[in-house]
Amino acid sequence: MILSALFRFITTHSRNHVPLQKRGEGGGKKTGKKSGILRGNMIAILPLFLLPFAGCTTTSRIGTDNWRDYFKPGHTKEEIARDFNLYRGKWWNYYVRGRWFAEGGFYDEAAQDFRKAISLRSQDQRSARSYGMHFWEYFAHRELGVIYYHQGKYEDAKKELEMSRSTADSARAKYYLNKSNEAMIKMTKMDIKPPEIRITSHTNGQVVNTPAAHIRGVATDDAYVNGMSIQGRSCS
């Protein structure tokens, strides 16, 4: 609408100055110069008007809804079940309520909500669209794995955490996966052999004449390898 009014203004403005060009036909260069300046001024109007509109063109950043924005600490599980509105029972409703339950230590109720959310949306995702321009950090598998870890169900926890990392890796999932593996090792006493280190470089007996040399190798263990260090220095 604004651009249309602008073009009408320019058209009317140019028509009102047409007689200047006609008078210039017999008046030599003087009148022609005026009309040339006039046309230049009219042409310059358009960029001046369009510049503010171009400056107003922006790209809006889509935010991600956080379940903590909807968390009210101090609720009992009965209050959460009573007061939390599931609306139409979408995956994000069950996921958020599950986080409420988990934060309060109500693990059975939290696990039930996470399983329901997974049945409605199967994969973890950092920016999962719910409706309109609303997106959630959705980690139902990860949070279910965390619940299983706290309940002592380490094999189930490992399964859920690995599934979460396969689609949306996170430091939280990695941390609880390591904790689950550690707990399983202690329970089953499966760590019965020392780790093995196999050097993959310098395999032909190569001799070096420098005080330091870069070597490559692989470390394996029946109870996983979380890291390596030599004389207290981490190796990567």
Residues 6+ apart with CB under 8 A from 47: none
The whole-angstrom separation of Cα 33 and Cα 43 is: 15
Q: What is the dihedral of CA 62, 68, 69, 74, to 10 degrees?
A: 180
**pTM summary value:** 0.60
Of the listed ranges 87-96, 148-157, 158-167, 211-220, the least confidently predicted one is: 211-220
Fold (CATH) for 67-188: 1.25.40
Q: Where do we find the tokens 């958020």?
A: 96
pLDDT in tens, 4-45: 554 455 455 444 444 444 444 444 444 444 444 444 454 444
Joined together, the tokens standing for residue 77 give: 């599980």
Joined together, the tokens standing for residue 174 give: 């990695």
pLDDT in tens, 203-221: 677 777 787 877 788 888 7
What is the mean predicted confidence (pLDDT) over 39-62? 43
Joined together, the tokens standing for residue 135 give: 């997106």
The whole-angstrom separation of Cα 150 and Cα 143 is: 11
> What backbone phi and psi angles, to 5 degrees, belong to 32?
-60, -35
Taking CA atoms, 23 is separated from 28, 38, 196, in Å, by 9, 14, 100
Of the listed ranges 45-49, 207-211, 223-227, the least confidently predicted one is: 45-49
What is the mean predicted confidence (pLDDT) over 61-88? 71
pLDDT in tens, 101-119: 999 999 999 999 999 999 9
Instruction: Please say if the pLDDT value at position 124 is more than 60.
Output: yes
Q: Which residue type occupies 161? A: L
> What backbone phi and psi angles, to 5 degrees, belong to 34?
-65, -45
Hey, what long-range contacts does 165-172 have (CB within 8 A, 24 or more apart)? 167/123, 167/124, 167/125, 167/141, 168/123, 168/124, 168/125, 168/126, 168/139, 168/142, 170/139, 170/142, 172/139, 172/142, 172/146
Q: What is the pLDDT of residue 105?
A: 94
At 141, is the pLDDT very low, low, confident or very high (cuts 50, 70, 90)? Answer: very high
Taking CA atoms, 11 is separated from 17, 18, 38, 46, 210, in Å, by 10, 11, 13, 12, 83
Average pLDDT, the chain: 75
